[in-house]
């Protein structure tokens, strides 16, 4: 049975209901309860790693590691 992590309740759920699996509140499916329980932490680690890779790529390509930080839209101040 697949396991899911509910980001709203912060609880692990186990079910085979395809309709429930499409919920925007669920991350998964995961093979184990432990894998589902650590889903948010692993996603945050991967996001941080990807952001660092993008920063390194920007620095290599432009010489400016913070290039993506600049927003030309004056309405976003």
Q: What is the pLDDT of residues 17-63, one digit of tens each?
A: 878 878 899 999 999 999 999 999 999 999 999 989 988 887 877 77
CA-wise closest residue to 1 among 23, 31, 24: 31
Higher per-residue pLDDT: 8 or 73: 8
Q: Is residue 15 part of a domain?
A: yes
Q: Is residue 71 part of a domain?
A: no
- What is the total count of domains within the chain? 1
Domain membership of residue 24 as a residue range: 3-63
Q: Is residue 68 part of a domain?
A: no
Contact 7, 25 (CB under 8 A): yes
Q: Is residue 39 part of a domain?
A: yes
- Give the separation between CA 35 and CA 8, rounded to whole angstroms: 17
Per 3-state DSSP, the chain is made up of helix, strand and coil in percentages (nearest 5) of 50, 15, 30
């Amino acid at each position: 049975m697949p396991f899911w992590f509910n980001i709203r309740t912060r609880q692990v759920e186990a079910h085979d209901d395809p309709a429930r699996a499409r919920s925007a509140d669920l991350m998964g499916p995961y093979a184990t309860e432990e894998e589902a329980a650590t889903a948010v932490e692993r996603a945050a680690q991967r996001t941080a790693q990807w952001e660092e890779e993008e920063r390194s790529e920007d620095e290599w390509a432009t010489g400016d590691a913070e290039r993506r930080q600049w927003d030309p839209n004056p309405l976003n101040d």
